[in-house]
Amino acid sequence: MSLTAVRHVRRPQGPPRTEDFEFVTHPMPSPGEGQVLVEAVYLSVDPYMRQLMDLGGWELGHGLEGRTVGRVIESRTPELPTGTVVFHRHGWSTHAVLNATDVRRIEPAEGVPLSAYIGILGGTGLTAYVGLTRIAKLRAGESLYVSAAAGGVGSAVGQIARLLGAERVVGSTGSAAKVKHLIENLGFDTAFDYHTETLTEPIDVYFDNVGGDQLAQAIDRLRDRGRIAWCGAVGQYNSPDDPPAAPHNLFDVVGKSLRLEGFLVRDHLDARVEFERFLTPKIQSGQVVVDETVVDGFDNIVNAFTAMLRGENTGKMVVHNH
């Protein structure tokens, strides 16, 4: 028995390539006293990992952290018997030996796919929820615009904003097929392809996943006293040495009395229980769609990561191990 893991072996210039990674195998480790051996079921690949590939992030030749939902297959602690479903952050590996304190038990709710716990019911959905409720403080009747709207966070933002009473939900994304998906399957009022169009209507809240030009356009369209929840800048992650300058109209934040606030979901983990209580029934009833692209096989994790950065995912990109 062996485990397979991925190492980062070269720092990319621009978009990452498969040669920047290598797969390694090790004999299967055994858990010590108080530990468990966990087999990955779903693994997450995320845009922030591209930033970790640059100097100061992941160390070359070492294991790659990341979010995983897996099953205990061997246990040396009564707290977590074999078969327990857990969440951990050990990362890009088919198996991991972990201390009981390094995993969080998951009790999958009836009618909710396990993959959701790494997507819309996991950190991805929590990011959307926190950005809307704590940062932008979206109010019923307001209009919201979200960029990278057809991705994991974006598709959660659009759907959660509707539940919070948004009067109008607008999204930008990278293709005509994704525009259609947002409107027909996720309840967006309208959407557009940012390659060929720009935001044309007034908004109260901008949930920014992209930065750059899309942030500048949103500043132009925000009503006075509008809010920006700045979540990410995926438009810049592939060219860290040459990021677009700050939006040319940044000073309009003053003229329009806007509020721009960045946030990290890891500072808001105390919202998780409230968030799960809010969203789980909506998923069970079908009111909220678990939007995801599932790539089969751990061997494809590098491809899944690079494809996600190219926009080949719809909803949360997850890798299915077993």
Ligand X SMILES: NC(=O)c1ccc[n+]([C@@H]2O[C@H](COP(=O)([O-])OP(=O)(O)OC[C@H]3O[C@@H](n4cnc5c(N)ncnc54)[C@H](OP(=O)(O)O)[C@@H]3O)[C@@H](O)[C@H]2O)c1
Tokens, residue 32 = 């010590």
Beta carbon nearer to ligand X, 35 or 173 = 173
> Quick check: 170 binds ligand X (CB under 6 A)?
no
Shortest distance, CB of residue 37 to ligand X, whole angstroms? 28
CA distance linking residue 192 with residue 184, whole number of Å = 13
**Nearest distance from C-beta of residue 226 to ligand X, angstroms:** 19
Q: Which of 153, 157, 166, 295 binds ligand X (CB under 6 A)?
A: 153
Single out the segment in contact with ligand X by CB under 6 A; choices: 58-66, 85-93, 259-267, 271-279: 259-267
Residues 6+ apart with CB under 8 A from 237: 47, 48, 50, 51, 309
Which among 111, 100, 47, 108 has a CA at the least distance from the CA of 74? 100
Pick between residue 57 and residue 311 the one whose CB is nearest to ligand X. 311
Min CB(165)–ligand X separation in Å: 23
Contacting ligand X (CB under 6 A), which of 37, 40, 53, 148? 148
Please name the residue that has the structure tokens 């908004």: 203
57-96 footprint of ligand X as x/- string (CB under 6 A): ----------------------------------------
User: Over the range 243-256, which residues count as b (16 or more CB within 10 Å of their CB) and which as e?
Assistant: eeeebeeeeebeee
What does the alpha-carbon distance between residue 170 and residue 297 come to, in Å, rounded to a whole number? 34
Shortest gap between Cβ of 235 and ligand X (angstroms)? 4
CB atoms within 10 A of CB 216: 18
**Shortest gap between Cβ of 245 and ligand X (angstroms)?**
15
Site string for ligand X, 195-234 (x = CB under 6 A): --------------xx--------------------xxxx
Residue 244 three-state SS: coil
